[in-house]
C-alpha cells in the first residue's frame, strides 16, 4: 500500500516547496437539499483516508450523513461550518460551469490522481434542478480556488471535521477539529519571488516520501493550491504541506510556495487531518 502513495519522480518536482485574508464561503445545505443528499449518498460508502500512521496507509468505511446547515456568525453572516462534505470520484468527473448538462465543461477529472491517490473535490453547495442533484464543488485545477458543478452519479461522499489555517505573517499552521484548536506549529513559507498563495483550498492527497530523510521529510500533503509563477512545472506547481530535511529554516520565507514543518510536527498534522479537509491560507 505504501508504494501506491509513495512519490514518483514527476510528482516530486511538481511541488513548489522543493527548493489578503480570504473570505471563506461555507457549505450551503437547506433541509430540502439535506434530504436529497441523504437519498444520493446514504448507505455504506468507501472512505479513502490516506494517513501516515505507522509509515503506512489505511482505508475505512463510513456511513455518510448529509452535511448540516451552517450556523450564523456575528452580524448575520454565515459562519464556516465545522463539518464539510468531500466527494471522491467513482469514475471520471465532468465539471460544468453551471448546473446544467448542456453548459460548457470546465474540466474532466480522472478517478485517480497521477500519484495513485483518489481524486477528491470539496463541496461548497448543492442544488436541485429538473429533479437532478448538482454539487457546487471546489476542484484542484488552476486557477486557484476554482469551482464548478458536478452532476450526481460520479461521486461518493464522506464528511470531515478538521481544518487547517495557515497564517503567513505569523508563519504558523493551526489545526482545528469541530471548531476547536488541536495545535499550532511554526512553518517555513514561500519567498517574495514565489510566495505561498492565499485563499481557500483543501487537502487533495497524502504522500509518503520514499526517502524520509529527503527534502519532504516523513510526509507530504498535496493541496488544491498552485504557485502561479510555476505553472510550467509538472502538474502546474502544486503547493504542498510537508516535512523537511532543513529544520533550521523553519520560520523563514525560503520555499517555492510550499509550507514546510518539522518532521515531528507534520506527522502530528497528518495524523489529525483527514484528506479532503479545508486549508485556509491567509496573510
Domain residue ranges in the chain? 2-20+162-282, 31-160
End-to-end CA distance of the chain: 37
Topology of domain 2-20+162-282 in CATH is L,D-transpeptidase catalytic domain-like (2.40.440)
**Choosing from 96, 124, 242, 256, which is the catalytic residue?**
242
Q: What local confidence, expressed as pLDDT, does residue 116 receive? A: 87
Q: What SS3 state is found at 182? A: strand
2-11, 38-47, 148-157: least confidently modelled range: 38-47
Q: What local confidence, expressed as pLDDT, does residue 234 receive? A: 66
Q: What local confidence, expressed as pLDDT, does residue 94 receive? A: 98
**Which three cell numbers, joined as nine digits, stand for 18?**
522543493
Please give the mean pLDDT across all residues of the chain: 77
**Choosing from 96, 124, 256, 258, which is the catalytic residue?**
258
Cell 468531500 belongs to 86
Predicted structure pTM score: 0.75
| 12 pLDDT above the threshold of 50 | no
To the query of whether residue 256 is one of the catalytic residues in this protein, the response is no
A 10 A CB-CB count for 233 gives 18
Separation CA 210–CA 153 (nearest Å): 35
To the query of whether residue 96 is one of the catalytic residues in this protein, the response is no
Which CATH homologous superfamily contains domain 31-160?
A: SH3 Domains (2.30.30.40)
Q: What local confidence, expressed as pLDDT, does residue 16 receive? A: 61
- Over residues 116-151, the pLDDT tens digits come to 899 999 999 999 998 999 999 999 999 999 999 999
Phi-psi region of 237 (alpha: psi -120 to 50; beta: other; left: phi over 0): left
- Over residues 55-89, the pLDDT tens digits come to 233 222 222 233 333 333 344 444 455 889 999 99
170-173 contacts: CB < 8 A, separation 24 or more?
Answer: 171/251, 171/252, 171/253, 173/241, 173/259, 173/261, 173/265, 173/269
Amino acid at each position: 500500500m505504501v508504494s501506491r502513495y509513495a512519490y514518483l519522480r514527476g510528482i516530486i518536482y511538481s511541488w513548489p516547496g522543493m527548493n489578503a485574508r480570504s473570505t471563506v464561503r461555507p457549505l450551503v445545505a437547506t433541509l430540502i437539499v439535506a434530504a436529497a443528499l441523504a437519498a444520493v449518498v446514504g448507505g455504506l460508502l468507501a472512505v479513502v483516508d490516506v494517513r501516515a500512521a505507522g509509515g503506512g496507509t489505511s482505508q475505512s468505511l463510513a456511513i455518510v450523513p448529509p452535511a448540516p446547515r451552517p450556523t450564523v456568525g456575528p452580524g448575520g453572516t454565515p459562519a464556516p461550518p465545522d463539518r464539510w462534505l468531500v466527494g471522491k470520484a467513482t469514475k471520471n468527473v465532468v465539471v460544468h460551469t453551471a448546473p446544467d448538462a448542456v453548459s460548457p465543461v470546465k474540466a474532466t477529472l480522472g478517478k485517480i490522481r497521477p500519484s495513485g491517490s483518489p481524486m477528491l473535490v470539496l463541496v461548497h453547495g448543492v442544488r436541485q434542478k429538473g429533479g437532478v442533484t448538482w454539487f457546487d464543488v471546489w476542484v484542484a485545477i488552476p486557477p486557484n480556488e476554482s469551482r464548478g458543478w458536478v452532476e450526481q452519479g460520479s461521486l461518493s461522499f464522506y464528511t470531515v471535521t478538521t481544518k487547517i489555517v495557515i497564517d503567513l505573517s505569523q508563519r504558523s499552521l493551526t489545526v482545528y477539529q469541530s471548531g476547536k484548536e488541536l495545535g499550532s506549529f511554526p512553518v517555513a513559507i514561500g519567498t517574495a519571488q514565489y510566495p505561498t498563495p492565499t485563499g481557500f483550498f483543501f487537502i487533495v492527497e497524502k504522500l509518503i516520501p520514499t526517502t524520509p530523510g529527503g527534502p519532504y521529510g516523513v510526509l507530504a500533503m498535496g493541496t488544491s493550491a498552485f504557485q502561479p509563477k510555476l505553472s510550467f512545472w509538472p502538474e502546474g506547481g502544486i503547493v504542498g504541506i510537508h516535512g523537511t530535511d532543513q529544520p533550521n529554516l523553519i520560520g523563514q520565507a525560503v520555499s517555492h510556495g510550499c509550507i514546510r514543518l518539522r518532521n515531528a510536527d507534520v506527522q502530528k498534522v497528518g495524523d489529525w487531518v483527514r484528506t479532503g479537509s479545508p486549508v485556509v491560507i491567509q496573510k
